[in-house]
Structure 1
Amino acid sequence: MQHWTILPILLPLLVASVMLLPPLASRINWLRIASVSTLLVLTIIAAMQVVTVIDHGSQMYVLGGWSPPFGIALVADKMSSLLVLLTCFLALTCMIYACAGHDKGGEYFHPLFLFQIMGINGAFLTGDLFNLFVFFEVLLIASYALLVHAGGKNKTQAAVHYVVINLLGSSLFLLGLGILYGTLGTLNIADMAVKISQLPQNETIIAKIGALLLLIVFGLKSAMLPLQFWLPRTYSSASAPVAALFAIMTKVGIYSIFRVFTVIFGDDAGELANFASDWLWPLALLTIAIGSLGVLASPTIKLLSANLVIISAGTLLVAAALHTELATAGALYYLIHSTLVTAGLFLLADIIAKQRGQAEDRLVNARALAQPRLIGFGFAILALTIIGMPPFSGFIGKVMILNAAESMTTRLWIWPVILISSLIALIAFSRSTSRLFWKSPNNKNTPDEKAHPYEITAITMLILGAPLLVIFGGPITDYVIQAAADLHDINVSVYPLLPEVSL
């Protein structure tokens, strides 16, 4: 079991590498079996890793026997283990959906998909910032190719913008890492947390510049205003399984903000303690506002779903700005909920587009759906969940974040913005439902336009996440509260990872 921490990185890497070999590269059925089997095994491993950290605490895997802070270390704590499990489950559902024929649009879909899972899992598990950069690049390179999978003018244009802006982000990432390494002499997250409070006063401003560069990079990845402009077009132009997988991509940026600005620049960072909160407050609220306007203006279901990702990112950034254990716990619960629901909406939008002919998923009058009851029921569940209507999981997540606002001044800023965004989402979904299900003519569609069983299975798995998050709300809430407590406690998140540091 000591090697389980590295398996979510190593297994997709090995399987994807084998898939590139000539005998397998052209055999689609074998590729599908290998991909689904790998992701199923990864989901089981991730679930067992969660159980392990519950029973035995955080697990550190040291590569090559080089102890931190000098060697490469992977850290599976409650927060990272939960997000790896979420990633593997989401990837499994997306791959099942892709096996309905979406993987035939271009070559190397399956190995690229697994390489992206490797990058995402590595970003969650790494214990140092340089390897965070490395895994960022792995997942981004894979996402570049997946974005243009199946070709098309819109995909190519969106990919160009996506590549350019992320190359700029990578450059800023390296610059920020260089500044912090030159100042602190280390990029190990735990070691940086110890040394940041010991910096001389004349060097704190340099470290702050490096940290602000990282905040810009993570803000770009998480679609924080004013860096959110790339997301709607990119996500709406990607193929359905790729767009659904991209629902976890912004969460990598959110996770990095929580990890870096809670552990390194948190309460024990001396003069730099919690300085990022002053920047996150206005940007988080404005991100929710711009996402809400985008939801109202969205002419298609895919764009609507993409703008909901921006709203969810803003809500999570509000929790990061609050910088309390309760806010972090609420963010973790809300992160799980929003990832599953927005992914489900991207997949459902694809089925709707195929069944409405030339109108696709545009909010205009068109022919009736081939499966209006089935699709309508799924759409209603996802809509009510993402809006935050009780008793669905969105309600619980938002209540946890709202309750984390302790002062009256904070509540006066947070409550209206989050509640109004929910009202706007309700209005947008009401309009969408009217166009899709109530104003469609009653002409019949051909049977071959019905959704493939694989597609229905994948969407059902995601939709079931909403009631399951409520049914098991007690244990899940206890888990995220403990994960947040561990993240905010330097005696848990830092010192145990540096054996040479004594309390």
Structure 2
Amino acid sequence: MNHWIILPILLPAIVAPVLVLAARYDLGLARALSLGTAVLALGLALGLLLSASDSSVAQVYALGDWPAPFGIVLVLDRLSALMLMLAALLSLVVLLYAVGDSDGRGRHFHALWQFQVMGINGAFLTGDFFNLFVFFEVLLIASYGLMVHGGGAQRVRAGVQYVVVNLVGSTLFLIAVGLIYSVTGTLNMADLAVKVPEVAAGDRALLHAGALLLLLVFGVKAALVPVHFWLPGTYGSTSAVVAALFAIMTKVGAYSILRLYVLAFGPEAGASALLAAQWLLPAAMLTLALGMIGVLAARSLSQLASFAVIGSMGTLLIAVGLFSAQATSAALYYMLHSTLAVAALFLIAEQVGLRRKSAGEALIVGRQFESRSLLAALFFVNAIALCGLPPLSGFIGKLLVLDAARDSASMLWIWALVLSTSLLALVGFARAGSTVFWKETVSADFRPLCAPGAPLPLVAIGVLLASLVLLTVFAGPITLWLDEAAAQLYQPSHYIDAVLGAAGGNE
């Protein structure tokens, strides 16, 4: 039994209250504890990734040694290990950015950060839907605090909308799991996969209603049309570091869709097979179109980044909605790329806004500013990646998605949409870059606008962009690994046997 599996949840759960009790008045100590925890979490995630890579079956941790499906289980496979690694890397890099300045604007920033990471990691590891709901609530409560960190009326208004939308989502989540439990008698993911094909025809309508309600809930998390409306205001109104961390939040929704609808409602689910496919693919295509139209119409860099999140989720969910191993592998590669690229864009937007003073992040012509050439170069690299232009990872990711769609009945629609929206993104980013970095007002007494000279924020942005370069350079071995992860996901019998056969798993 691999006892390390619980540590991604346990570590931040212990450190967060320590930060509240011992470091709320000492920012230096809070930074040291938080960064140290993030480094440990990254090392732990790497170890678990290697462990999952060495095993062809899922590894199970049964809390209290209670066997599934009666006890709480955590499950580690290639997919969950990949998500843990992505979350740990993003958390550490964005935390480095925050230490440059923004973490000092509120007292409990680092404690909330750790609770947020705890909820995200728990959502990726849990083996049952009730505890998925619990971890959703943990990460959402922490995200409420992080979102309004630093104050401001606009941020509070956006926070209220965010809270209301997610409270409705939580209510629907409980109703959905209640419906599913009423006809299957279980919420354990592996046990549910066994019970779904056996549901009586008369009870199948309740089962499908619960499953489609869960799709709606996960769609809210993933900013899927038509329940995407909360994201631009929320991400655009909060601080850059929080928005950058929130780049992984939408991926929690995509992960949940993959986990549920491949494991419990996949090809082996009988009359309930591929229940989500007919709804997910059209909604994902609309999400991509709307997101890229938003990129074209954006009025600020943070708004540009927010709509880029929606557009990238559309591309990702198109691949997920094809429900094949090849398409899922493409989706996972694109997810790695889009999470890092969008996070970098939010951070670049804030750095530009700090230096442009009154013009801020708005896409209007302003005066020259300090570090303009460096930030222009960073924005240029980021734009190439997000638009899907060669040679960076966005280009490879979109090629993989297009290739996976060749056997789909919707191939022509998918190809036309992905290529046309890439053009919209290119125009939108070109307009934004030329307005902010290449057009300027000049006066006789010109002096560049000054900005804080802390190097950590720029270093953090550089690390995120360097990660995209590495994702491109090592695309071959990475896609081979992702192919194996997707193949493991589409062999649910291995997952089921590992979970339901772990009666004495902690011995």
1:451: how far off? Answer: 4.5
Name the counterpart of 1:183: 183
- Taking a change above 3 Å as real, the CA distance of residues 451 and 277 of structure 1, as seen in their structure-2 partners, is farther
Name the counterpart of 2:482: 480
In structure 2, give the amino acid aligned to 1:40.
Answer: V
Name the counterpart of 1:492: 494
1:408: how far off? Answer: 6.5
Are residues 1:444 and 2:447 paired?
A: yes
Q: What is the CA–CA distance in structure 2 between the aligned matches of 1:230 and 1:446, rounded to whole Å?
A: 34
Q: What is the CA–CA distance in structure 2 between the aligned matches of 1:307 and 1:463, rounded to whole Å?
A: 19
Does the 8 Å CA contact 1:16/1:112 hold for their aligned counterparts? yes
Name the counterpart of 1:295: 295
Name the counterpart of 1:378: 378
Does the 8 Å CA contact 1:66/1:72 hold for their aligned counterparts? yes
Q: CA offsets, 1:54-97, max 9 Å, x none?
A: 11342211100001111110011000101111001101111111
Name the counterpart of 2:202: 202
Secondary structure of 1:444's aligned partner:
coil
Are residues 1:41 and 2:40 paired?
A: yes
Name the counterpart of 2:24: 25
Does the 8 Å CA contact 1:371/1:450 hold for their aligned counterparts? no
In structure 2, give the amino acid aligned to 1:188.
Answer: N
1:36: how far off? Answer: 0.6
Q: What is the CA–CA distance in structure 2 between the aligned matches of 1:43 and 1:176, rounded to whole Å?
A: 34
User: Where in structure 2 are there 5+ consecutive unaligned residues?
Assistant: none
Higher relative contact order (CA 8 A, sep 6+): 2
1:360: how far off? Answer: 0.3
Name the counterpart of 1:50: 49
Q: What is the CA–CA distance in structure 2 between the aligned matches of 1:110 and 1:415, rounded to whole Å?
A: 43
1:24: how far off? Answer: 1.8
Does the 8 Å CA contact 2:295/2:429 hold for their aligned counterparts? no
Q: What is the CA–CA distance in structure 2 between the aligned matches of 1:92 and 1:255, rounded to whole Å?
A: 21
> Normalised by the size of structure 2, how large is the TM-score?
0.97
1:411: how far off? Answer: 1.4
Q: CA offsets, 1:227-270, max 9 Å, x none?
A: 00000010011111101000000000010001001111001111
Does the 8 Å CA contact 1:263/1:487 hold for their aligned counterparts? yes
Q: What is the CA–CA distance in structure 2 between the aligned matches of 1:129 and 1:247, rounded to whole Å?
A: 23
Q: CA offsets, 1:337-374, max 9 Å, x none?
A: 00000000000000000000111010001111200121
Q: What is the CA–CA distance in structure 2 between the aligned matches of 1:493 and 1:362, rounded to whole Å?
A: 49
Q: What is the CA–CA distance in structure 2 between the aligned matches of 1:474 and 1:60, rounded to whole Å?
A: 30
Does the 8 Å CA contact 2:356/2:449 hold for their aligned counterparts? no
Secondary structure of 2:225's aligned partner:
coil
Secondary structure of 1:242's aligned partner:
helix
Q: Which moved more, 1:126-135 or 1:432-441?
A: 432-441
Secondary structure of 2:3's aligned partner:
coil
Secondary structure of 1:366's aligned partner:
coil
Q: What is the CA–CA distance in structure 1 between the aligned matches of 2:137 and 2:229, rounded to whole Å?
A: 20
Q: What is the CA–CA distance in structure 1 between the aligned matches of 2:492 and 2:230, rounded to whole Å?
A: 36
Name the counterpart of 1:247: 247
Does the 8 Å CA contact 1:193/1:263 hold for their aligned counterparts? yes
Q: What is the CA–CA distance in structure 2 between the aligned matches of 1:197 and 1:85, rounded to whole Å?
A: 33
Name the counterpart of 2:414: 414
1:444: how far off? Answer: 2.4
1:466: how far off? Answer: 1.0
Q: 1:458 aligns with which of 457, 460, 474?
A: 460
The 5 A counterparts of 1:260-271 are 260-271=260-271
Name the counterpart of 2:151: 151
Name the counterpart of 1:163: 163
Secondary structure of 2:54's aligned partner:
helix
Secondary structure of 1:74's aligned partner:
strand
Q: What is the CA–CA distance in structure 2 between the aligned matches of 1:88 and 1:312, rounded to whole Å?
A: 21
Secondary structure of 2:204's aligned partner:
helix
Q: CA offsets, 1:147-174, max 9 Å, x none?
A: 1000001100000000001000000000
In structure 2, give the amino acid aligned to 1:148.
Answer: V
Does the 8 Å CA contact 2:366/2:441 hold for their aligned counterparts? yes
Name the counterpart of 2:469: 467
Are residues 1:322 and 2:322 paired?
A: yes
Does the 8 Å CA contact 1:351/1:451 hold for their aligned counterparts? no
In structure 2, give the amino acid aligned to 1:56.
Answer: S
Name the counterpart of 2:174: 174
Name the counterpart of 1:67: 67
Does the 8 Å CA contact 1:177/1:187 hold for their aligned counterparts? yes
Secondary structure of 1:4's aligned partner:
helix
Q: What is the CA–CA distance in structure 1 between the aligned matches of 2:140 and 2:418, rounded to whole Å?
A: 30
Q: CA offsets, 1:177-214, max 9 Å, x none?
A: 01111111110001100110111111111100000110
Does the 8 Å CA contact 1:79/1:483 hold for their aligned counterparts? yes
Q: Which moved more, 1:229-238 or 1:52-61?
A: 52-61
1:445: how far off? Answer: 2.5
Q: What is the CA–CA distance in structure 2 between the aligned matches of 1:104 and 1:24, rounded to whole Å?
A: 12
Between the two proteins, what is the percent identity of the paired residues? 46
Q: What is the CA–CA distance in structure 2 between the aligned matches of 1:435 and 1:73, rounded to whole Å?
A: 52
1:446: how far off? Answer: 5.0
- Taking a change above 3 Å as real, the CA distance of residues 430 and 195 of structure 1, as seen in their structure-2 partners, is same
Does the 8 Å CA contact 2:190/2:499 hold for their aligned counterparts? yes
- Taking a change above 3 Å as real, the CA distance of residues 25 and 413 of structure 1, as seen in their structure-2 partners, is same
Are residues 1:219 and 2:222 paired?
A: no
Q: What is the CA–CA distance in structure 1 between the aligned matches of 2:149 and 2:354, rounded to whole Å?
A: 18
Name the counterpart of 2:109: 109
Does the 8 Å CA contact 2:367/2:449 hold for their aligned counterparts? no
1:441: how far off? Answer: 3.4
In structure 2, give the amino acid aligned to 1:34.
Answer: L
Q: CA offsets, 1:441-490, max 9 Å, x none?
A: 3532255x154211011111101111100111122111111111111112
1:491: how far off? Answer: 2.3
1:390: how far off? Answer: 1.3
1:124: how far off? Answer: 0.5
Name the counterpart of 1:284: 284
Name the counterpart of 1:343: 343
Q: Which moved more, 1:492-501 or 1:241-250?
A: 492-501
Q: What is the CA–CA distance in structure 2 between the aligned matches of 1:490 and 1:450, rounded to whole Å?
A: 52
Q: What is the CA–CA distance in structure 2 between the aligned matches of 1:108 and 1:146, rounded to whole Å?
A: 9
Secondary structure of 2:410's aligned partner:
helix
Q: Which moved more, 1:132-141 or 1:285-294?
A: 285-294
Q: What is the number of residues matched between the two proteins?
A: 499
After superposing on structure 2, the runs of 4+ consecutive aligned residues of structure 1 that deviate more than 6 Å are: none
In structure 2, give the amino acid aligned to 1:84.
Answer: L
Name the counterpart of 1:99: 99
